[in-house]
Amino acid sequence: MTTTTTYNGGAPVRALILAAGRGSRMGSLTAEQPKCLTPIDGRRLLDRQLDALRGAGITELGLIKGYQGHLLPAEGLTHFENPRWASTQMVATLRCAAPWLASAPCIVSYSDILYGSEVITALAAAPGGLAISSHTGWRDIWSARFADPLSDAETFRRADDGRLLEIGGRATSLDQIEGQYMGLLRFTPAAWADVEALLNTLPPERQDRIDMTSLLNALLGAGVRIETVPVGGQWWEFDSEEDVRAFERLAVR
């Protein structure tokens, strides 16, 4: 029996999957359905994510829908919707569930990643208000996805005390990469209040178009501490049809 995960022994941790976008780089795989419904080695990506979250003791699960949202499962999930999914970025999608984020600690997951329960457990237990996970084995994954790992990898640096120093820049050498951001975050209500305060200083069009790593950089610039949680283990990102094929080739070895 799995124990419900709590933050610092207090409120139960929720989880929220951002599934509003189409993922057009997936080609025919998302022509008629959301990206998270893509079969990965015989199982839908969303089902794999829900299993990992539940396996980590997360019992309250939410989903933000948009493109072809009527196809997403409803049982056991709280649904939110971004009706402007086609003209906004991920942070605007995240704000569609602002009441959830303001009322309890919450894991936030991109919908195009695969991970194990151990990653979620480590992220939920991280100190501080805002925490993100980073994958220490990123180079092996990027080598399987790209001929040159540096062609897509972004800068990621952390201080000795675990706080984030740099994220999302164009990497020109491996020395600038101490891990890769995994598309997984953990907010407490206080951390979400910091996010809302920063976003409210931006013009509306910028609020609509800011992406997640740009938000994290803006928070760093505002003096907000962001904890990093280095992890290994299972993780994969699906940006294209080739990413699916690469993962499935490795899975059958």
Domain coordinates in residue numbering, the chain: 14-251
Strands 39-40 and 43-44, how do they pair?
antiparallel
- In terms of Cβ atoms closer than 10 Å to its own Cβ (0-12, 13-18, 19+), residue 125 is middle
Average pLDDT score over residue span 81-97: 97
Residue 252: what pLDDT? 47
Q: Is there a contact between 191 and 164 (Cβ–Cβ < 8 Å)?
A: no
Q: Does pTM surpass 0.85?
A: yes
41-63 pLDDT, tens per residue?
A: 999 999 999 999 999 999 999 99
Residue 113: is its pLDDT beyond 70? Answer: yes
Say how far apart CA 47 and CA 60 lie, in whole Å. 15
Tell me the C-alpha to C-alpha distance, in Å, between residue 211 and each of 29, 73, 176, 215: 24, 26, 21, 6
What is the domain class of 14-251 according to CATH?
alpha beta
